[in-house]
Amino acid sequence: MRPGDPGHVCFIGAGTMGCYNALLASLAGYDAVIYDISRETLFGVPQTISAMGAQMVAAGLQDTDAVEVAKSRIATQHDLTAALYGAKLVSESIFENLEVKRELFADLDGRCRSDVIITTNSSSLMVSDIEDALGDGSRFAALHSHLGAMLFDIVPGPRTAPGTTAALKEYVSNLGGISLVLNKENKGYVFNAMIGPVLATAMLQVIDGAASMEDVDRAWMKRTGSPMGPFGMMDLFGTALIYDSWKHRPAMPDQPLMDLMKRKVLSFLAPIVGTGRLGMKSGHGFYTYPDPAYSRPGFLNGYPETSGADYALTSAWTQNAALIAANDVAEPHDIDRAWIAATRQAKGPFAILDDIGLERALTLFAVTGPLAGIENIAKVSGCLLGKLGEGCPGAAGGKGFYDYPEPAYAEAGFVGGGAI
């Protein structure tokens, strides 16, 4: 049995992502076993799974009966040998400590039969940081999921066998998900490498007094058609998660501006998290729930189509998308597919660049500064200049990253299911 076939999947780590991935697997017909070293954490799994299932039902994504059947397929286990017994796929979602992860994967490599595929769901560590901890790298890859979205990044390592990648694509397809196989590893994969800079830019706009929180969200909602802006998204993700992700970023003494940004963001988030304003799950984050201001009629009324906040957010988003393409991590259309799959927005960053016009976008980048890093200016500009050199100025000129007036992103099935 390959991991693409219904059967037993072992999830290492009983935190949010381990529980979420186990629920997705069980909804697709797999038996799931969640292992954790902490009995206390395992004790909370049923409550976490039930809450996630209830959210899916409330959102109209699942019905109650399907969730109840899925919950019956999920078991917990404190004994690793027992948890791994019979599994064909192992998914790791423990805390982001490289040394601990490497020790775990070396242990898994010794315990698992040769036909078992072993994956990491790490959000911040690279495949190359981990893969040489395994003796058999042919069965190892990153299989990275996104909370609340059916997008899965697959990143093979230098020794990953083609059959391993194919089996993971099949597994994602069985989940009803969309897999994006990256050409090479990239910090933050694809979606996170774009949304992270957007959230950072949003916070800096408020920290530096350039815009209010509400106006930052209005700017993003106007530009993208999203039902919420960056601060609403941080409430969705959980403010503690955002805080922890910044807290555990390594120091960058050779880049003092990045270290300054980290200090600013942590000082901004600390009182929010410290007073229990954890986001949607606590009823209060940047907004108050279940009736946040951004969901009320009139929230966008009178707000201009463009603003300083809009320029900053759009520039951060599209510059980092262009950098991903310039680094040959993924193609522009695939980057847009990943964005649309994760956000359910109508357009991705390259469609937005076409709307703006590539020459005007370059001017925007010059005004807002190098929001993908000063060392990447040439790569980011080169991505757009290359299209301009091909006679592709954007939507107004009939051709940019897409062909107009019928761009591919507007076609039914552009995102679709299965592999990108």
Within a domain: residue 3?
A: no
Supply the range of the domain harboring residue 230.
190-420
User: What pLDDT, on a 0 to 100 scale, did the predictor assign at position 2?
Assistant: 60
Q: Which of 156, 181, 206 is the last residue of a domain?
A: 181
Within a domain: residue 379?
A: yes
- Does residue 291 sit in the same domain as residue 165? no
Mean pLDDT of 378-399: 97
Note the pLDDT tens digit of each residue in 258-307.
788 999 999 999 999 999 999 988 899 999 999 999 999 999 998 888 88
Q: 212-217: which pairs have CB atoms within 8 A and are 24 or more residues apart?
A: 213/286, 214/293, 214/294, 214/299, 215/303, 215/307, 215/309, 216/309, 216/313, 217/294
Among residues 294, 160, 192, 104, the alpha carbon closest in space to that of 169 is found at 160
Q: Which of 181, 216, 234 is the last residue of a domain?
A: 181
What distance in Å separates the CA atoms of residue 391 and residue 386, rounded to the nearest whole number? Answer: 9
Q: Are the C-beta atoms of residues 311 and 367 closer than 8 Å to each other? A: yes
Q: For the packed helices 16-27 and 162-175, what is the interaxial angle rounded to 10 degrees?
A: 80
Mean pLDDT, the chain, rounded, equals 93
**Which of the 8 DSSP states describes residue 116?**
-
Q: Are the C-beta atoms of residues 198 and 204 closer than 8 Å to each other? A: no
Q: How confident is the model at residue 1 (pLDDT cuts 50, 70, 90)?
A: very low
User: What pLDDT, on a 0 to 100 scale, did the predictor assign at position 32?
Assistant: 98
Among residues 89, 84, 95, the alpha carbon closest in space to that of 141 is found at 89
User: What pLDDT, on a 0 to 100 scale, did the predictor assign at position 97?
Assistant: 86
Note the pLDDT tens digit of each residue in 105-134.
999 999 999 999 999 999 888 999 999 999
Within a domain: residue 39?
A: yes
- Does residue 146 sit in the same domain as residue 216? no
User: What pLDDT, on a 0 to 100 scale, did the predictor assign at position 305?
Assistant: 80
Terminus-to-terminus CA distance in the chain, angstroms? 24
Within a domain: residue 2?
A: no
Note the pLDDT tens digit of each residue in 231-271.
999 998 889 989 988 987 777 666 777 788 999 999 999 99
- Does residue 115 sit in the same domain as residue 32? yes
Domain at 401, CATH number: 1.10.1040.50
Please give the residue that has the higher pLDDT: either 246 or 357. Answer: 357
Q: Are the C-beta atoms of residues 31 and 70 closer than 8 Å to each other? A: no
Which residues lie across from 181 on neighbouring strands?
Answer: 154
- Does residue 353 sit in the same domain as residue 418? yes
385's tokens = 């200049």
Instruction: Name the domain count of the chain.
Output: 2
- Does residue 150 sit in the same domain as residue 237? no
- Angle (CA) 381 360 183, round 5°: 35
Q: What is the pTM of this model?
A: 0.91
Strands 74-77 and 31-35 turn out to be parallel
Domain at 146, CATH number: 3.40.50.720
Q: Cis before residue 6, ω within 30 degrees of 0? A: no
Q: For the chain, give the percent of residues with pLDDT over 70.
A: 97
User: What pLDDT, on a 0 to 100 scale, did the predictor assign at position 369?
Assistant: 85
- Does residue 66 sit in the same domain as residue 203? no
Q: How confident is the model at residue 389 (pLDDT cuts 50, 70, 90)?
A: very high
- Does residue 166 sit in the same domain as residue 269? no
Which residues lie across from 155 on neighbouring strands?
Answer: 142
E strand residue ranges, 39-148: 74-77, 89-92, 117-120, 140-146
Within a domain: residue 194?
A: yes
- Does residue 228 sit in the same domain as residue 372? yes
Note the pLDDT tens digit of each residue in 164-191.
999 999 999 999 999 999 999 999 999 9
- Does residue 310 sit in the same domain as residue 268? yes
Note the pLDDT tens digit of each residue in 394-409.
999 999 999 999 999 9
Q: How confident is the model at residue 6 (pLDDT cuts 50, 70, 90)?
A: low
Q: Which of 181, 199, 231 is the last residue of a domain?
A: 181
